[in-house]
Amino acid sequence: MWTMDILSLTTTCKMDLYMFPFDTQHCNLTLQSLACTEEQLKLYEGYSSKDLTLESQDIFQTEGEWELLNITTSTTESDTVWITIKRRPLLYIINLIFPVFCFLVLDVASFFIRASATDKLSFKVTLLLSISVLLLILNDKLPSTASKIPLIGIYCGGIFTLIGLSILETIFVNFLITVGEETKSEAQEETKAAANAHHDGVDTVTKIEEPTCSVNPQKKASLYWTRAAMIFDVTFIALYIITVIVFLSVLGKIWFLL
């Protein structure tokens, strides 16, 4: 019970969102009275901090975002109640973390599908736009005055960057393949021109041998561009998968084990 008539309540809770949504917040409630001094203002000491926490948890039955962990009292300067609460992360895992992870898995899987360059590029751009929508939702959830970037921001931003790099790689590989196809097309045109010259010419042996020497460099160039595209694509896929594994492992270690 309280022995005063007038109370003023001061609440202090500095939000630390670095571990969001696996964060734990510590708040303090300071009770002051205009009618009583600090010596007269004392909390009823019939309950220990453990009993007070258990009783409060029984009363605190709402299935909200926060879970009550601990309540402690302090009477050093003024009567203060320290409250420790923990966020329930399941909603954010289902609606934010898991979808972004699925987009990353789909991006990795897109390297192994057989599709035209336009279809694959459109698929990757769609994934990037989907993550952009989730980043907008995250921006509404987090305050803009945070002193450091939360881990979930690093998580979404890192995956956004990885998918952006995979789009650039797809564009570059398609460019190399296009150059190789154009070179091959030029070689085929020269072969057709040589065949036409053979039918119209007089010296058959000379007409066949001359264009053969001029066609071979074009075919070699075509094979060079195609092989360069394949080597670059395989190398990028290997590095991309390694980067994804390292990124998620380090972030998960900081996020869940600290």
DSSP 142: S
Which pLDDT score, from 0 to 100, does residue 16 have? 79
Residue 126 has pLDDT above 80, yes or no: yes
34's CB contacts (< 8 A; 6+ apart) are 6, 8
Tokens of 63: 């299935």
Which pLDDT score, from 0 to 100, does residue 108 have? 93
Which pLDDT score, from 0 to 100, does residue 214 have? 47
Separation between Cα atoms, residue 8 and residue 10, nearest integer Å: 7
Which tops the pLDDT comparison, 255 or 207? Answer: 255
Residue 172 has pLDDT above 80, yes or no: yes
Domain limits for position 216: 91-257
Residue 100: CB atoms within 10 Å: 21
Name the 3-class secondary structure at 107: helix
Which tops the pLDDT comparison, 154 or 34? Answer: 154
Instruction: Kindly report which listed range (116-130, 136-150, 191-205) carries the lowest average pLDDT score.
Output: 191-205
Residues 245 and 119 in one domain: yes
Residues 77 and 47 in one domain: yes
Residues 13 and 117 in one domain: no
Residues 190 and 243 in one domain: yes
Separation between Cα atoms, residue 173 and residue 166, nearest integer Å: 10
2: in domain: no
Instruction: Kindly report which listed range (58-62, 169-173, 191-195, 229-233) carries the lowest average pLDDT score.
Output: 191-195
Residues 22 and 112 in one domain: no
Residue 237: band (very low, low, confident or very high) from pLDDT cuts 50, 70, 90:
very high
Q: Are 142 and 153 in contact (CB under 8 A)?
A: yes
pLDDT digit string (tens) for 19-32? 888 888 888 777 66
The upper half-sphere exposure of residue 29, i.e. CA atoms within 13 Å in the direction of its Cβ, equals 11
Separation between Cα atoms, residue 201 and residue 192, nearest integer Å: 14
Name the 3-class secondary structure at 256: helix
Instruction: Kindly report which listed range (5-14, 156-165, 181-190, 222-231) carries the lowest average pLDDT score.
Output: 5-14
Residue 235 has pLDDT above 90, yes or no: yes
Which pLDDT score, from 0 to 100, does residue 148 have? 79
1: in domain: no
Residue count of the chain, please give it.
Answer: 258
Residue 137: band (very low, low, confident or very high) from pLDDT cuts 50, 70, 90:
confident
Q: Which of 53, 88, 123 is the last residue of a domain?
A: 88
Which pLDDT score, from 0 to 100, does residue 3 have? 44
123: in domain: yes
Q: Are 211 and 200 in contact (CB under 8 A)?
A: no
pLDDT digit string (tens) for 36-76? 665 555 555 555 566 666 666 666 666 677 887 877 776 55
Separation between Cα atoms, residue 87 and residue 66, nearest integer Å: 5
Separation between Cα atoms, residue 21 and residue 65, nearest integer Å: 10
Which pLDDT score, from 0 to 100, does residue 247 have? 95
What are the φ and ψ backbone dihedral angles of 113, each rounded to 5 degrees?
A: -90, 145
Residues 113 and 19 in one domain: no
Mean pLDDT of 84-105: 90
Averaged pLDDT score across all residues of the chain: 75
Which tops the pLDDT comparison, 195 or 207? Answer: 195
Which pLDDT score, from 0 to 100, does residue 71 have? 78
Mean pLDDT of 124-147: 82
Residues 142 and 222 in one domain: yes
55: in domain: yes
> What total number of domains does the chain contain?
2
What are the φ and ψ backbone dihedral angles of 75, each rounded to 5 degrees?
A: -130, 40
Residues 45 and 160 in one domain: no
131 burial level (CB within 10 Å; 0-12, 13-18, 19+): buried
Residues 190 and 238 in one domain: yes
Residue 167 has pLDDT above 90, yes or no: yes
Tokens of 84: 């420790």
pLDDT digit string (tens) for 206-218? 444 444 444 456 5
DSSP 21: T
151 burial level (CB within 10 Å; 0-12, 13-18, 19+): buried
Which pLDDT score, from 0 to 100, does residue 207 have? 45
Residue type, 37: T
Q: Which of 88, 122, 138 is the last residue of a domain?
A: 88
246 burial level (CB within 10 Å; 0-12, 13-18, 19+): exposed
223: in domain: yes
Name the 3-class secondary structure at 101: helix
- Which residue is it, tokens 């075509």? 222
CATH code of the domain covering residue 158? 1.20.58.390
